[in-house]
Amino acid sequence: MPPLRTIKGPAIFVAQYASDEAPFNTLDGICGWASSLGYKGIQLPIDPRFIDIERAATDNAYCEELQDIFRKHNIQLTELSSHLQGQLIAVHPAYDTLFDGFAPEHVRNSPKKRQEWATKFLHLAARASKNLGLTAHATFSGALAWPYLYPWPQRPAGLIETAFKELGARWKPILDAFDECGVNLCFEIHPGEDLHDGVSFDRFLAEVNNHPRACICYDPSHFILQSLDYLSFIDIYHTRIKIFHVKDAEFRPSGRQGVYGGYSSWTERAGRFRALGDGQVDFKAIFTRLARYGYQGWAVLESECAFKDKIVCAREGVGFIQGCIIPVAEGAFDDFAGVGVGAEGCRKILGLE
């Protein structure tokens, strides 16, 4: 068992806050805003308003300029995120039109060019992460098999196996690039992605030969919505969990709807995201588990509440996360009662002398 470790935080993922209005339209502005609320870290989407990914991948002087902005606001960059770009590594044709919106115009209406662009982008993200001194990166896996989640009509033999073999083939060179840069590539386990639970993640690991850089961005809200045991998940996959999104959710099924939601809007679904403390996630237990397993990363707020204003969520999230972080003990609570008998004393106590 690794030593207990105090989780770093609070930090905030700012993808949901980025806009064309100040202070959310520049790196300096959004860092200042987050720092003013009391956040110590910021997880940054690769958004041109905040970072030029090509420059960050090739220009160390530019990366130092970015670090100067973080230092100016006394806040740390925790990770970069390529959720939207990672999604484009694998897109089922049913979603081509919708996901084209995540790609630049010159590769739209061409799944092959779109995938090539996304692959290049992830390679840049690996090098940029290295140049910025980061050890983990957040992304999505994309999905080829998601439309066939429910086995009706009956899935043809080999359909899922073929999808995961292709998914692994697309991601393996990217994982190798992250490995060369010394950065863990953390897939957010998320409905809508082929990697949406432990079983699907295991399928993927098998296709990439248990790649050491294939890691997890852990977000318990997505497990609440699946009725998956999110605490047991930590017990099973703690060595792969390198990023932690602190996001709450609730699942309240009725006689009319359950996990699938009946195509309802977010406010009407049985499963929906909530502000921290308004949902059903047992964060005290999660923080205890992660501290127990020596999690070395940050606790990063992600705000997607269906009801509460996101600015209020950000303001309230600081104190909530601070209240969950466990400053771990340096020794055992009962050390004062130790008798210090040593190895020979232990043998004597057991009657072995």
Return the CATH number at 80: 3.20.20.150
Backbone angles phi, psi at 92, to 5 degrees: -70, 145
Please classify residue 67 by burial: count the beta carbons closer than 10 Å to its beta carbon, then call 0-12 exposed, 13-18 middle and 19+ buried: middle
The answer to the question of residue 1 being in a domain is no
Q: Strand (E) positions, 124-211?
A: 136-139, 184-188
Number of domains in the chain: 1
Token pair 């720092």 is found at 35
Which residue, among 279, 276, 281, has the nearest Cα to 318 in the 3D structure? Answer: 276
Half-sphere exposure of 321 (CA within 13 A, CB side): 30
The answer to the question of residue 192 being in a domain is yes
Q: Are 300 and 293 in contact (CB under 8 A)?
A: no
Alpha-carbon dihedral sign for residues 80, 5, 211, 140: negative
Number of neighbours of residue 19 by Cβ within 10 angstroms = 11
Collect all residues with Cβ–Cβ distance below 8 Å to 85 and sequence separation of at least 6. Answer: 46, 102, 118, 121, 122, 125, 139
Question: What is the value of pTM for the model shown?
Answer: 0.96
Alpha-carbon dihedral sign for residues 310, 69, 126, 202: negative
Please classify residue 101 by burial: count the beta carbons closer than 10 Å to its beta carbon, then call 0-12 exposed, 13-18 middle and 19+ buried: exposed
How do strand 241-246 and strand 298-301 relate by DSSP bridges?
parallel
For residues 111 and 100, give the distance between their C-alpha atoms in angstroms, rounded to a whole number.
Answer: 9
Q: Are 263 and 233 in contact (CB under 8 A)?
A: no
The answer to the question of residue 3 being in a domain is no
Phi-psi region of 327 (alpha: psi -120 to 50; beta: other; left: phi over 0): beta
Half-sphere exposure of 138 (CA within 13 A, CB side): 30
Give strand pairing partners of 177: none
Which structure tokens are listed for 158?
């080999």
Residue 108 DSSP label: T
Question: Is residue 220 reached through a cis peptide bond, with omega within 30 degrees of 0 on the bond before it?
Answer: no
Q: Write down the pLDDT at residue 346.
A: 85
For residues 8 and 75, give the distance between their C-alpha atoms in angstroms, rounded to a whole number.
Answer: 12
The answer to the question of residue 2 being in a domain is no
Residue 256 DSSP label: S
Q: Write down the pLDDT at residue 180.
A: 98
Q: Are 325 and 299 in contact (CB under 8 A)?
A: yes
Which structure tokens are listed for 273?
């995201």
The answer to the question of residue 46 being in a domain is yes
Show pLDDT as tens, one digit a residue, over the chain (353 residues): 789 999 999 999 999 999 999 999 999 999 999 999 999 999 999 999 999 999 999 999 999 999 999 999 999 999 999 999 999 999 999 999 999 999 999 999 999 999 999 999 999 999 999 999 999 999 999 999 999 999 999 999 999 999 999 999 999 999 999 999 999 999 999 999 999 999 999 999 999 999 999 999 999 999 999 999 999 999 999 999 999 999 999 999 999 999 999 999 999 999 999 999 999 999 999 999 999 999 999 999 999 999 999 999 999 999 999 999 999 987 766 566 677 788 888 888 889 97
Give strand pairing partners of 45: 81
Full domain range(s) for residue 140: 8-349
The answer to the question of residue 319 being in a domain is yes
The answer to the question of residue 98 being in a domain is yes
Collect all residues with Cβ–Cβ distance below 8 Å to 38 and sequence separation of at least 6. Answer: 10, 318, 319, 322
Half-sphere exposure of 158 (CA within 13 A, CB side): 1
Q: Write down the pLDDT at residue 153.
A: 96
